[in-house]
Amino acid sequence: MKINVINQQDLREIDTKKIKDIAKKLLLNEIGQGNFELNILITDDKSISEFNKYRGKSTPTDVLSFSYGLNEPVIGDIVISVESIEKQAPDFGNSFEEEFYYILIHGLLHIVGYDHENSEEDAKKMFEVQDQYFHQLIKDRRR
């Protein structure tokens, strides 16, 4: 398992080691050890808007996940906008760091097959799992 983190922004300090650690723990738990790569791009609103055009949208978003299949050499790409996260963190009562890792977990869950757009049941399951990982890997560990 190889996690590549590409930081294309200078708006916020990013802990690439922590990103890799969280990704590895979640992926090990969800799909086990494997010979695959995952790319995580940290960027700004302008850049993520360009990627969002593939979804037919011209606005920024916090995270995009492109899953290529768990049997592929590269299982997916995740794009995260620090600008969007910075704007929305207060709305959820999170610090920037908490919101960043919450959104990272969200993107990782999409890569391993979770979805929240198909049904309410799927959405409920995905957000429950996301909350569990957040508390296991981020929130409860900070105490």
pLDDT above 80 for 142: no
Answer whether residue 63 shows pLDDT above 60: yes
> How high is the pLDDT of residue 54?
86
**pTM score of the predicted model:** 0.94
Task: Yes or no: say if 112 and 30 are a contact pair by the CB < 8 Å rule.
Answer: yes
pLDDT confidence tier of residue 68, bands split at 50, 70 and 90? very high
The pair of structure tokens assigned to 24 is 């590895």
Label residue 143 by pLDDT band (50, 70, 90).
very low
Give 12-58 pLDDT, tens digit per residue: 999 999 999 999 999 999 999 999 999 999 999 999 999 999 888 98
| Helical axes 96-111 vs 120-134, angle rounded to 10° | 130
For the cut 60, the answer to whether the pLDDT of residue 126 exceeds it is yes
Residue 38 dihedral angles phi and psi, to the nearest 5°: -135, 135
Walk me through the domains of the chain, giving residue ranges and CATH numbers: 2-142 (3.40.390.30)
For the chain, what percent of residues have pLDDT higher than 70? 97
Return mean pLDDT, the chain.
Answer: 95
Question: CA–CA distance from 3 to each of 70, 76, 105, 111, 114 (Å)?
Answer: 14, 10, 14, 13, 19
Give the model's confidence band at 139: pLDDT under 50 very low, under 70 low, under 90 confident, else very high. confident
Q: Is residue 135 marked as binding?
A: no
